[in-house]
Amino acid sequence: MRPDLKILIVDANPVRAAIIDEGLREAGFTDLVRIGATHGLVAAIETHDPDVVVIDLEDPSRDALADMFLVSRHVKRPITMFVDQSDSASIEAAVEAGVSAYIVDGLKKERMQPILQTCISRFNAFRKLREELDEARSQLEERKLVDRAKGIVMRMKNLSEDEAYALLRRTAMNDKRKLVDIARSIITAAEVLK
Amino acid sequence: MTLHLRVGFMPLVDCALVVLAKDEGFAEAEGLNLELVREVSWSNLRDKLNVRLFDAAHMLGPAAIAATLGVGGVRAPMAVPLALNLDGAAITVSVRRYEELARLADGDMADTTVSARALAAMVARRKASGLPPLTFAAVFGFSSHTYLLCEWLAKSGLVLGTDIRFEVVPPPQTVEALTSGRVDGFCAGAPWNAAAVSAGVGAMVHSSTDLRRNCTDKVLAWQADDLERRPAAVRKLTAAILRASDWACDPANIPRFARHLSAHDRLALPVDLLEPVLHFNLVQGAGRPPRQVERFIRFDRAALRPEPAHADWILAGMERAGQIVRTPDMSEQARAVFRPAYFPGGDD
């Protein structure tokens, strides 16, 4: 058995691929190949001859890969999907995280486990990062809307900034609506009445 | 109480009844809150069904049987209380290959034996001139499309995978694969043949109905034990889909039917491409007029009964394609995937 496993990372998202790459390196795997465009996945597997293939579930070439289980004459070594029947929890975790792994030529499950765990945690970390980014973006967006509404109220009712803000908050509380929703209504109304 | 069900599908005309069950309100009328999720691969549908991220999935009948038998590296037992269509596929080749075939044909290309012999002649010529073998694609290894290709080729003694290379190309990539020359032809469900013809790169050779009528295609798959575990959910979704079937069979509904399928979160394809397919009017390409194929794709109630006999044809196809070596217990296991007991009046 080779001392270092060669891992092929198939991911159209270069940022996530880099995050996985880094995670696997930290876990001690250094022989890594990253590919993005996957029209030639079968050819890429023949060229790179990996021990493990890690693939994003959003990649449509999974079905082509599945067929390679049967037509192993395409490749020098047989490929199987990493499904450990005794460990359905890690399969579930992988699918939920959005990653799938394939092993080439009967690699032992014990050797596969740390790779899969690393990929799962990196996929989840990436998703969390993206969610946080989306959250930050929408918060910024909301603050801009509230500021605009505040400006409108200040102008129309001749109020100070603090007074305008207090009025918006009071209205939101009385109506049991979110501050940003009140802000949106004010902006829409102001545009209609312009 | 409303029951929430999440169902995965692939962008094909044959996912129609699931889409209509939601978008025409039949699921809601049955007390279901149906959430539809478009997927990029059959492998994803299978795996997400297996870990219960999906309650049910639009599935290739042969893929449901393969997953149940554990062929192809993954065992994920499934049960099919209802089929989603019969027929509806076609074989398309690149325009260039079609013209070559037409020149080599000894007779009417509409005859499947004539076209298969023309293909055999092309294969022989290429071999004699040292040209690389032709490549044909299907949308999944375990699919009626693979077995239909095998049946067509067998008419002239050709073997898929030996005389002609075989590749798997997901439905939305078929047009690109033909354009780039990565494949010479493919067998896929609607509307991808029409899409290749409309793009000017493909020419339809045969409708699947030329080779076989009432051919099993897509089914609604559940996890095997869900039929016993969640019978109410299974019955409600089945009922909603049967109502969608009645609606889909009324020709007056076709324009609206096409618009539902065309939506960005469904097939995301132009209505102009989909509506003729629903009228069974198929563009052929290579300078030929569109062809009217009677009952090109069946969505009627009778087509939806899950027939255990279909499993026999599927197993035979798997064997012919070299996907399995038959064992005595396979037939019973495969037949048991199709469960007519949940079909109205369908006790088997």
Whether the pLDDT of residue A71 is over 90: the answer is no
CATH of the domain at A146: 1.10.10.10
CATH of the domain at A44: 3.40.190
Q: Please name which of A162, A83, A65 lies closest in space to residue B74, comparing C-alpha atoms.
A: A83
Tokens of A165: 């803000």
Nearest by CB to A60, from B167, B173, B182: name it.
B173
Q: Are residues A18 and A71 in the same domain?
A: yes
Q: Are residues A46 and A63 in the same domain?
A: yes
Are the C-beta atoms of B218 and B61 separated by less than 8 Å? yes
Confidence at A82, pLDDT banded by 50, 70, 90: low
Q: Which residues of B touch A92 (CB under 8 A)?
A: 51
Task: Estimate the crossing angle of helix A88-97 against helix B42-50, to 10 degrees.
Answer: 130
pLDDT recorded at residue A127: 85
> Measuring CA to CA, how many Å separate B124 from each of A70, B119, B153, B172, B180?
26, 9, 13, 31, 24
Report DSSP state, residue B120.
Answer: H
DSSP run (H or E) holding A104: strand A99-104
Query: Which domains does chain B carry?
Result: 3-86+216-269+297-342 (3.40.190.10), 89-211 (3.40.190.10)
Q: Are residues A114 and A143 in the same domain?
A: no
CB contact under 8 Å between B53 and A66, yes or no, is no
Q: Which residues of B touch A65 (CB under 8 A)?
A: 43
Q: Are residues A34 and A84 in the same domain?
A: yes
Give the residue, A94 or B193, on which the prediction is more confident: B193
Query: How far apart, in whole angstroms, are the C-alpha atoms of residue B330 and residue B141?
Result: 18
- Alpha helices by DSSP H, listed for B207-290, are 208-211, 226-229, 231-248, 254-262, 271-278
Nearest by CB to A80, from B73, B139, B141: name it.
B73
State pLDDT tens for residues A112-131. 788 888 888 888 888 888 88
Report DSSP state, residue B131.
Answer: P
End-to-end CA distance of chain A: give it in Å, rounded: 76
Mean pLDDT of B200-228: 97
Q: How far is A190 from chain B (nearest CA, A)?
A: 33
Q: Which residues pair with B59 in a beta bridge?
A: B219
End-to-end CA distance of chain B: give it in Å, rounded: 31
pLDDT recorded at residue B107: 96
Whether the pLDDT of residue B14 is over 70: the answer is yes
Nearest CA in chain A to B137: A64
Structural domain including A189 reads 135-193
Question: Amino acid letter at B104?
Answer: L
CB contact under 8 Å between B167 and A95, yes or no, is no
Mean pLDDT of B257-282: 97
Whether the pLDDT of residue B334 is over 80: the answer is yes
- Alpha helices by DSSP H, listed for B158-230, are 174-180, 192-198, 208-211, 226-229
Residue A142 counted as domain residue: yes
B319 Cβ contact list (under 8 Å, min separation 6): B325, B326
Give the residue, A28 or B345, on which the prediction is more confident: A28
Whether the pLDDT of residue B183 is over 70: the answer is yes
State pLDDT tens for residues B63-99. 999 999 988 777 899 999 999 999 999 999 999 999 9
Please enumerate, as own/partner, the contacts of B269-278 that have beta carbons within 8 Å and a separation of 24 or more: B269/B11, B269/B191, B269/B195, B273/B191, B273/B194, B273/B195, B273/B198, B274/B13, B274/B191, B276/B194, B277/B13, B277/B190, B277/B191, B277/B194, B278/B13, B278/B254
Whether the pLDDT of residue A110 is over 80: the answer is no
Nearest by CB to A70, from B40, B72, B74: name it.
B72
Give the residue, B279 or B344, on which the prediction is more confident: B279
Q: Are residues A116 and A142 in the same domain?
A: no
pLDDT recorded at residue A100: 84
Owner of token pair 């590919």: A35
Q: Are residues A122 and A150 in the same domain?
A: no
Query: How far apart, in whole angstroms, are the C-alpha atoms of residue B255 and residue B258?
Result: 5
Q: Are residues A60 and A92 in the same domain?
A: yes
Residue A1 counted as domain residue: no
Q: Are residues A65 and A42 in the same domain?
A: yes
Q: What is the number of structural domains in chain A?
A: 2
Q: Which residues of A touch B74 (CB under 8 A)?
A: 81, 83
Are the C-beta atoms of B144 and B317 separated by less than 8 Å? yes
Q: Which of A94-103, B38-47, B281-290 is predicted with the least confidence, judged by mean pLDDT?
A: A94-103
Q: Are residues A110 and A157 in the same domain?
A: no
pLDDT recorded at residue A78: 58
Q: Are residues A178 and A119 in the same domain?
A: no
* Average of per-residue pLDDT values in chain B: 95
Mean pLDDT of B164-175: 91
Whether the pLDDT of residue B221 is over 60: the answer is yes
Nearest CA in chain B to A58: B40
Residue A102 counted as domain residue: yes
Half-sphere exposure of B281 (CA within 13 A, CB side): 9
Burial of A175 (0-12, 13-18, 19+ CB in 10 A): exposed
Owner of token pair 């010479």: B184
Are the C-beta atoms of B206 and B193 separated by less than 8 Å? no
CB contact under 8 Å between B74 and A81, yes or no, is yes
Q: Please name which of B104, B156, B304, B276 lies closest in space to residue B220, comparing C-alpha atoms.
A: B304
Q: pTM for the full model?
A: 0.85
For residue B265, which phi and psi values (nearest 5 degrees)? -100, 10
Please report the residues numbered 94 through 133 in chain A whose beta carbons come closer than 8 angstroms to any beta carbon of chain B: 95-96, 100
Write the DSSP assignment of A159-182 as a string of letters.
--HHHHHHHHHHHHHHHT--HHHH
Q: Which residues of A touch B47 (CB under 8 A)?
A: 57, 91, 95, 100
State pLDDT tens for residues B118-131. 999 999 999 999 99
Q: Are residues A121 and A104 in the same domain?
A: yes
Give percent of chain B above pLDDT 90: 91
State pLDDT tens for residues A22-67. 999 998 999 999 988 666 777 788 888 888 888 888 888 888 877 7
Q: How far is A185 from chain B (nearest CA, A)?
A: 29
DSSP run (H or E) holding B188: strand B185-189
Query: How far apart, in whole angstroms, are the C-alpha atoms of residue B168 and residue B11?
Result: 16
> Measuring CA to CA, how many Å separate B217 from each of B19, B79, B241?
17, 15, 16
Q: Which residues of B touch A86 (CB under 8 A)?
A: none
Confidence at B339, pLDDT banded by 50, 70, 90: very high
Q: Which of A23-32, A94-103, B6-15, B234-243 is predicted with the least confidence, judged by mean pLDDT?
A: A94-103
Q: Are residues A35 and A106 in the same domain?
A: yes
Whether the pLDDT of residue A83 is over 80: the answer is no
Whether the pLDDT of residue A107 is over 80: the answer is no
CB contact under 8 Å between B75 and A64, yes or no, is no
Whether the pLDDT of residue B172 is over 70: the answer is yes
Whether the pLDDT of residue B198 is over 70: the answer is yes
Residue A73 counted as domain residue: yes
Whether the pLDDT of residue A72 is over 60: the answer is no
Whether the pLDDT of residue A157 is over 70: the answer is yes
